[in-house]
């Protein structure tokens, strides 16, 4: 562990370096909320750092809509493919991989290696496509619990996620209360609002109404509903940024003066088109539909007459809740709902509202106050573990 020690001694944060995705195969059937059962399934995952001897320093990272298990480091064959939370996870970073063993997993129904619409349906030997069942946050967490068993992790030091990832951390606290010590719920909400669902629905309709969607069996036709994906991403992107940030970054700047045409004239138009195009090039439409549905469905209070305090009654772990002032997708008020429900249950909860201009996307960025908050929290988690150097 010389390099880790060196990293911590010189105080410089580094990348975890080259990493390799792994894959776990599960043969015990997984019943899903929709009523279907996956007889077998696979999960793609990555790990960073070293599991200590008493297997107590493991942290699970849950991803949001379009992300994957590739959280930190890069791939040898693709050095530019840096993990989506590389600023957060690594030696000397807020979630310090010299102290913690970090596990990240691609969710069921996603398109980056775990079982989902683009993977092979064992029953047919063909890609699942539209036949892959709709999955929920609860299903994801159940699958992640299987991965914990597989890795021999009886209890997570922490489960952490932003946005939809935060919902998974919250779900872990409710569903497997004895199997985690801390939940970090960042830029999240206990359920979507009508407006949140409305935006998801427009994105879904863009995909569902794309003539290249073929009822979800586009792969059989050698097609992809790129138009729908483009629109879904353009729209999503607006909700990830704050009005203020968009104004500061783009305002009414023109590319080359007014053209009086429908070519992209304003910089914001060009930016959104670029983001949409890029996304349509790599993301799977059936996955997008399923992940937005999982978002819409998440509502742990629903089984308790809408009482979130009741829903969290069995939670035992400590919580860090973080929200961002300019996030209008999941405003701070939504985080405070979670906080209040935890306080009702006399749970150990810390809450930070970060004054950041970047809207919902702030959870992915390296705002100093935000990172310091997470770093300090993990120092506490490490202290609780009775941190031992060089284990």
- Residues marked as catalytic: 163, 327, 360
3-state secondary structure of 230: helix
Positions 63 through 122 that interact with a second copy (CB under 8 A): none
Letters for 220-249 (x = contact with a second copy by CB under 8 A, - = none) are -------x--xx--xx--x--x-x--xx-x
Note whether 78 and 160 are within 8 A (CB): no
Least distance from a second copy to the Cβ atom of residue 201, Å:
5
Regarding 355 and contact with a second copy (CB under 8 A), the answer is no
Binding segment for a second copy (CB under 8 A), chosen from 70-78, 102-110, 202-210, 315-323, is 202-210
Regarding 128 and contact with a second copy (CB under 8 A), the answer is no
Count the neighbouring beta carbons within 10 Å of the beta carbon of residue 168: 31
Q: What are phi and psi of 102, to 5 degrees?
A: -100, 130
Q: How far apart are CA 217 and CA 120, in angstroms?
A: 13
349 beta partners: 319
Regarding 360 and contact with a second copy (CB under 8 A), the answer is no
Q: How far apart are CA 329 and CA 336, in angstroms?
A: 14
Q: What are phi and psi of 107, to 5 degrees?
A: -75, 150
Give the residue with the Cβ less far from a second copy, 111 or 206.
206
- The closest of 139, 137, 144, 138 to 159, measured between CA atoms, is 144
**229 is written with which tokens?**
């994906």
| Of positions 33, 82, 147, 382, contacts a second copy by CB under 8 A | 33
Give the residue with the Cβ less far from a second copy, 41 or 48.
41
| Of positions 211, 255, 278, 303, contacts a second copy by CB under 8 A | 211
Give the residue with the Cβ less far from a second copy, 92 or 276.
276
Least distance from a second copy to the Cβ atom of residue 378, Å:
34
Positions 34 through 73 that interact with a second copy (CB under 8 A): 34-35
Give the residue with the Cβ less far from a second copy, 55 or 227.
227
Element (H, E) at 374: helix 368-384
3-state secondary structure of 3: helix
3-state secondary structure of 359: helix
The DSSP bridge pattern shows strands 318-324 and 349-354 to be parallel
Note whether 146 and 26 are within 8 A (CB): yes
Least distance from a second copy to the Cβ atom of residue 111, Å:
17
Regarding 261 and contact with a second copy (CB under 8 A), the answer is yes
Positions in the binding site for a second copy (CB under 8 A) = 33-35, 133-134, 191-195, 197-199, 201-202, 204-206, 208-211, 227, 230-231, 234-235, 238, 241, 243, 246-247, 249-252, 258, 260-262, 264-266, 268-269, 272-273, 276, 289, 293, 296-297, 299, 302
């Amino acid at each position: 562990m010389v390099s880790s020690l060196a990293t911590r001694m010189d105080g410089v944060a580094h990348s975890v370096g080259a990493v390799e995705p792994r894959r776990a195969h599960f043969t015990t059937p997984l019943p899903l909320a929709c009523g279907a059962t996956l007889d077998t399934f696979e999960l793609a995952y990555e790990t960073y750092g070293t599991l200590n001897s008493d297997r107590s320093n493991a942290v699970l990272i849950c991803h949001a809509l379009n992300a994957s298990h590739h959280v930190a480091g890069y791939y040898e064959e693709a050095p530019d493919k840096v993990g989506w939370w590389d600023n957060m996870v690594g030696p000397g970073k807020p979630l310090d991989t010299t102290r913690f063993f970090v596990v990240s997993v691609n969710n069921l129904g996603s398109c980056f290696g775990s079982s989902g619409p683009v993977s092979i349906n064992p029953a047919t030997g063909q890609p699942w496509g539209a036949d892959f069942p709709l999955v929920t946050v609860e299903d994801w967490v159940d699958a992640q619990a299987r991965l914990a068993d597989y890795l021999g992790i009886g209890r997570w030091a922490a489960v952490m996620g932003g946005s939809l990832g935060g919902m998974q951390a919250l779900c872990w606290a409710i569903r497997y209360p004895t199997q985690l010590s801390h939940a970090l719920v960042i830029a999240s909400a206990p359920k979507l609002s009508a407006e949140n669902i409305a935006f998801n629905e427009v994105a879904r309709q863009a995909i569902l109404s794309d003539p290249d969607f073929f009822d979800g069996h586009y792969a059989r036709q050698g097609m992809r509903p790129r138009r729908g994906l483009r629109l879904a991403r353009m729209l999503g992107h607006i909700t990830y940024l704050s009005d203020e940030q968009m104004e500061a970054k783009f305002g009414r700047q023109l590319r080359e003066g007014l053209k009086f045409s429908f070519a992209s004239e304003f910089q914001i138009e060009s930016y959104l088109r670029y983001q949409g195009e890029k996304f349509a090039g790599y993301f799977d439409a059936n996955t997008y539909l399923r992940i937005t549905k999982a978002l819409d469905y998440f509502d742990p209070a629903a089984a308790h007459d809408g009482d979130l305090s009741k829903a969290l009654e069995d939670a035992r772990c400590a919580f860090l809740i973080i929200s961002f002032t300019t996030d209008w997708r999941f405003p701070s008020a939504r985080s405070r709902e979670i906080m209040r429900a935890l306080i009702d249950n006399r749970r150990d909860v810390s809450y930070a509202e970060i004054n950041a201009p970047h809207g919902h996307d702030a959870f992915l960025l390296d705002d100093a106050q935000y990172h310091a908050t997470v770093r300090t929290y993990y120092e506490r988690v490490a202290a609780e573990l009775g941190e031992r150097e060089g284990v």
